[in-house]
Amino acid sequence: MKFILSKSIIIAAAFFLFILSQLPVVFLNFLNSNGDTYGIAYKNTPPFIILALAVVTISIFIGIKCGFYNNYRKSFSWKNILFIFSLLIVTFFIQKFVVQFITSHNLYNVSHQITNQMKVENILSSLLFPGQFVAVSILAPILEESIYRAFFYKLFGYKWWTFALSCFFFSYVHSGFSWDILGYLPLSVALTYVYHRRQVLTDSILLHSLYNTLLFVF
């Protein structure tokens, strides 16, 4: 009974974070729905940043209570930072190569991925740069790594199939809930590996944040 209760709490917490992660997007869509596009980015950005940072704060608080940040200091050693940056560069180019390869050879239908990517870009287009940065480099990495890495491993344990499940679900969600997940697998594998090797959440958050920032800038 105690085992079932503990697992139920983990699932509930992960689901709560998932719902919480959608609030800034839902709020932004609500702001965009009034039809007044004049100066929309200037109007949207301040409240979006406030809400996004509130969501991040709640997520970190839950993570601290769950013990996800106990070893955060390990992430900031020079050896680890060098490793993260090296993996970042490798992942970035592998991801680009894989996407280019599978699209140029028509190995799968990219319509879902393109549609999903366009939705993200449309949402970000109604924000100024500070709001875009908060969404891409802070909000998404912290919430997604908490859900798809920390809570997955807390729920299923430190097993090889936990690694596989984490990779699959992260890619599946980012492909727009379609089977066109190949384009996201390199990043998903890299992020899951970084967490799997020693279960330090800030490692995968750091890699995810740097990758999103690099993709956002270039």
pLDDT the model gives residue 128 = 94
Distance CA 166, CA 39 (A): 40
pLDDT the model gives residue 3 = 79
Q: What radius of gyration, in Å, describes the C-alpha atoms of the chain?
A: 18
pLDDT the model gives residue 36 = 63
Q: Are 183 and 61 within 8 A, CB to CB?
A: no
pLDDT the model gives residue 123 = 75
Tens digits of residue pLDDT in 157-166: 988 999 999 9
Residue 110 has pLDDT above 60, yes or no: no
pLDDT the model gives residue 33 = 82
Both tokens assigned to 70? 């106990």
Residues 6+ apart with CB under 8 A from 27: 47, 48, 51
Question: What's CA 74's distance to the chain center, in Å?
Answer: 21
Residue 178 has pLDDT above 80, yes or no: no
Distance CA 58, CA 40 (A): 27
- Give the pLDDT mean for 9-19: 95
Tens digits of residue pLDDT in 132-156: 999 999 999 999 999 999 999 999 9
